[in-house]
Amino acid sequence: MRSANSALFKWIEYCKERKWLRGLLNRCLGGREVGLKSAAFRTWMHMVSAATEEEMSNELDDLRKQNEKQRAQIQEVTAKYNVMIGSMSDLQKKQQEQAMRSATKMIQMMKGKALTSTFMSWKQYAKDELADKVKMVRFLAKWKNQGVSKCFMGWVTMIAEDKQYKAIVKKFVMRMNNGCVVR
């Protein structure tokens, strides 16, 4: 009963959020006034940036917790290593030191791979973000220039009609001058 109740509340929350998003999109894309569109777009941008910041802060908190756990594990292993070294003979100590150097090299290689992977992921993310920014700038430029574009197209149509009318008049005058038109 409890799970059904919580599922119902989650569904209600989901529906409210979807309804709010639909309203936001309607205000953003369906409004008649530019002020309403720009306000809706700004609201959408703030919502996205807030969600991104919250997501990043949650990831940062998770990474901090993981880092603290790993530090505790390192301290525990170091303490065990020191106890073990105290009870070994010289030959065993040399073998253990060699094994530790090998392990250290392996760890350094793993860190290098992790850093490379992180950098490559960041590079791809930055590339995608730049592409998204270019798309958004183009979209905004088209959006802002819709009125100018409509005026320009009207002007081009008017010029084309004027040319056509002038050609008809010129043709008529030529025929009249050549005596083709009967009075």
pLDDT 10s digit of each residue in the chain, 183 long? 677 777 777 888 888 888 887 777 766 666 555 556 666 677 778 887 777 777 888 888 888 888 888 888 888 888 888 877 777 677 777 888 888 888 888 888 888 888 888 888 888 888 888 898 888 888 877 777 777 777 777 888 889 999 999 999 998 888 888 766 554
The DSSP result for 92-153, as a single string, is HHHHHHHHHHHHHHHHHHHHHHHHHHHHHHHHHHHHHHHHHHHHHHHHHHHHHTHHHHHHHH
∠ CA 128-133-137, rounded to 5° = 150
Rounded-to-integer distance, Cα 175 and Cα 180, Å: 5
